């Protein structure tokens, strides 16, 4: 059975890009539009990998990651953050919240799939 990736991003463009890339790579994709929605989706779905944006309304990526890690089911679920920031500050914050790794935007499909593969068991 193919692995399920939950993508959390408030930008429709990004969600579509992620969907296209990951589907082509053989993953099943579940989407959420912000952190709060992401947690709602996780309540009813199991995700093998989570990819999340940082800047989002309602609940940002940091809060979302913390929320995911508090759920015993998802303590060991790999979480990749999407970041355009080249400085390390956001990365560090995301890591402190419990992120597994990151993907620097703009990503090309290979880079994305590569990063997902690296953290996916």
Partner 1 sequence: MDPLEAIKATFFQECDELLADLESGLLELEGGGGDIETVNAVFRAVHSVKGGAGAFGLEPLVRFAHVFETTLDDMRSGKLATEPAAVKVMLRAADVLADHVSAARGQGAVDEAGSLRLVAELKALCGGPAAAAGADGDDEVVMVDTEVEDDGFGDFDFTPVIVEIEGPAEAEVAAMPTWRIGFKPSRAMYAKANETALLLRELDRIGACQVTLNADALPDFDALDPEDSYFSWIIDIETDQGEAAIREVFEFVEDDCEITLEAIGPSATSDAPLAPSEAPELAVAAAEPAAPDGDVLALLERAKLAAAEMQAAAPSSAAVSTEPPRAAPPPAPAPAAALHPADNGDAKAAAGTTIRVDLERVDRLIDLVGELVINQAMLTQRVGESGLARSSTVSVGLEDLEHLTREIQDSVMAIRAQPVKSVFQRMPRLVREVAAMTNKQVRLTTEGENTEVDKTVIERLSDPLIHMIRNAIDHGLEKPEVRVAAGKPAEGVVKLCALHRSGRIVIEVSDDGAGINRERVKQIALDKGLIAADATLTDEETDNLIFLPGFSTAATVSDISGRGVGMDVVRRQVQALGGRISITSNPGKGSTFSLSLPLTLAVLDGMVVGVSGHTLVTPLTAIIETLQPKTNDVRLLGPNGAVLAVRDAYVPLVDVGAVLGYRKGPTDWTTGVVLLVESEVGGRAALLVDAIQGQRQVVIKSLEANYQRVEGIAAATILGDGRVALILDVDALIDVRRKDARRSAAPPAARLPLAS
Which positions lie near partner 1, rule CB under 8 A? 10-14, 16-17, 20, 30, 32, 37, 40-41, 43-46, 55-57, 69, 72-73, 75-79, 84, 86, 92, 95-96, 98-102, 104-107, 110-111, 118-121
Do residues 47 and 77 make contact, with C-beta atoms less than 8 angstroms apart? yes
Contact 55, 61 (CB under 8 A): yes
Q: With H, G, I as helix, E, B as strand and everything else as coil, classify residue 7.
A: strand
Structure tokens at 29: 């994709």
Least distance from C-beta 109 to partner 1, angstroms?
10
Q: Which is nearer to partner 1, 2 or 111 (CB)?
A: 111
Distance CA 10, CA 106 (A): 16
CB of 56 to partner 1, least distance (A): 7
Nearer to partner 1 by C-beta: 2 or 106?
106
Q: Which CB sits closer to partner 1, 2 or 12?
A: 12
* 55 three-class SS: coil
SS3 71: coil
Query: CB-wise, 41 or 63, nearer to partner 1?
Result: 41
């Amino acid at each position: 059975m193919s692995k399920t990736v939950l993508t959390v991003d408030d930008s429709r463009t990004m969600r579509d890009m992620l969907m296209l890339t990951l589907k082509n790579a053989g993953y099943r994709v579940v989407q959420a539009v912000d952190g709060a929605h992401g947690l709602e989706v996780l309540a009813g779905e199991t995700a093998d990998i989570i990819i999340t944006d940082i800047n989002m309304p309602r609940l940002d990526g940091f809060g979302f990651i913390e929320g995911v890690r508090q759920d015993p089911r998802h303590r060991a679920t790999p979480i990749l953050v999407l970041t355009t920031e080249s400085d390390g500050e956001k990365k560090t914050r995301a890591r402190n919240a419990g992120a597994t790794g990151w993907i620097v935007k703009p990503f090309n499909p290979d880079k994305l799939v590569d990063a997902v593969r690296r953290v996916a068991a």
